[in-house]
Amino acid sequence: MIQRRPLLLAATAAAASLMFSAAHAQGGPTIKIGEVNSYKAQPAFLEPYKKGMELAVEEINAAGGVNGKKLELITRDDNASPGDAVRAAEELVSREKIDVLAGAFLSNTGLALTDFAKQKKFFYLAGEPLTDKIIWGSGNKYTFRLRPGTYMQAAMLVPEAAKLKKKRWAIVYPNYEYGQSAVAAFKELLKAAQPDVEFVAEQAPPLGKLDAGSVAQAIADAKPDAIFNVLFGADLTKFVREGTTRGIFQGKEVVSVLTGEPEYLDPLKDDTPNGWIVTGYPWYGIQTPEHKAFFLAYHGKYKDYPRLGSVVGYTMIKSIAAGVKKAKSTEADKLVAAFEGLQMDSPFGKFTYRAEDHQSTMGAFVGRTKNEGGKGVMVDYKYLDGAKFLPSNDKVKALRAPN
């Protein structure tokens, strides 16, 4: 009896573990989406993003849910910290018993959740983080990404940059994963398009700690012909104002990632520069039926216009619902199989989650900034299909780590 007791306890524990696994696989009365993000640190993007998510949940549940179950959204703030992001994910999985993990805005927190998904074999949809390590260098079986990353956005901007035929470029970017990734892609692609290009100045202030005066002066001292900017948020506003005061943009072309997004363009107001080549979201001019429907639904619920975050949050939740419906399950491996090649409708039109690297082909708008009566807008813009701005399958295989 003494010898059999440990065996009996072990058997009981194993049975309990199997029962827990089976219960989790079968799921509860709702499909729980656990979402982790930097809400306090990046409110300009993430407040509209959360509204977009909530609109999508409301629409899906009003239509009967997914596979007979309603969606439930549970959010956590990561304090812009990779460690806190992982701790939040662990709490969502162990305590809240979520079915799907989603979110992240900053690239470093997104990479932390990417690794978490790999280690735990848990499905994760990265909505916003732009570093391409998420899908290539650190890519794994369980991680997918919605937004076009730094390579795709650089590839969309480089043809316009090359047309300028400017030789001497200055670069300014936030010194963390997203900024480094964006600059590396831009340099590689512009050098390929214009071999004689020179990068004469590089300013990389810490995120959120820009000394705009010294950065602007360093760029002015280098006497560039053109500037590539990767700053966003409050850093962008400070840089534009200080740069305008010092005249560093006069007679120079500026190519800028994200600046056409309302989250970052709207706060510039009277300081909006004219003629910058940017990626962004001209919500006021998109006349497609799918965007009109989204705009009316969003405006009807919030009495406000959507930002790009609104589109990302909305489309991310719609993607999860479509993946679960296709998989007929929330089991991670079945979701992975469902997402590979999953075709989606969105406010920007149709796109696909690629099987080869789990990157979506959702595109972006490229145009120029204009100060229109003290308000920043995008003009001369066009939508570029993301599928046309991804590297070849052979290159992706070389970039992507075994998973």
- Whether residue 49 is contained in a domain is answered as yes
Residues 44 and 159 in one domain: no
More confident residue, 178 or 26: 178
Q: Are strands 30-37 and 100-103 parallel, antiparallel or unpaired?
A: parallel
Residues 200 and 252 in one domain: yes
- Whether residue 241 is contained in a domain is answered as yes
Residues 263 and 183 in one domain: yes
Residues 28 and 93 in one domain: yes
Question: What is the reported pLDDT for 10?
Answer: 44
Angle between helix axes 308-327 and 289-302 (nearest 10 degrees) is: 110
pTM recorded for the entire structure:
0.91
Residues 32 and 70 in one domain: yes
Q: Are strands 351-352 and 100-103 parallel, antiparallel or unpaired?
A: unpaired
Mean pLDDT of the chain: 93
Question: 3-state secondary structure string, 198-234?
Answer: EEEEEECCCCCCCCHHHHHHHHHHHCCCEEEECCCHH
- Whether residue 159 is contained in a domain is answered as yes
- Whether residue 1 is contained in a domain is answered as no
Residues 357 and 276 in one domain: no
Number of domains in the chain: 2
| CATH code for the domain in which residue 187 is found | 3.40.50.2300
- CA–CA distance, 217 with 202 (Å, rounded to integer): 12
Residues 217 and 332 in one domain: no
Question: What is the reported pLDDT for 244?
Answer: 96
- Whether residue 4 is contained in a domain is answered as no
pLDDT in tens, 12-25: 444 443 443 444 44
DSSP assignment of 80-141 equals: T-HHHHHHHHHHHHHTS--SEEEE--SHHHHHHHHHHHHHHT--EEE-S---GGGTTTT--T
| Region of residue 115 (left: phi > 0; alpha: psi -120 to 50; beta: else) | alpha
Q: What is the mean pLDDT of residues 287-310?
A: 98
Residues 53 and 20 in one domain: yes
Q: Which domain holds residue 259?
A: 151-284+365-389
Within 13 Å and on the Cβ side, how many CA atoms surround 292? 3
Element (H, E) at 159: helix 150-163
- Whether residue 2 is contained in a domain is answered as no
Residues 273 and 291 in one domain: no
- Whether residue 403 is contained in a domain is answered as no
Residues 115 and 21 in one domain: yes
Residues 35 and 143 in one domain: yes
For residue 99, pLDDT over 90 is answered with: yes
Question: What is the reported pLDDT for 397?
Answer: 87
Residues 104 and 165 in one domain: no
- CA–CA distance, 145 with 147 (Å, rounded to integer): 6
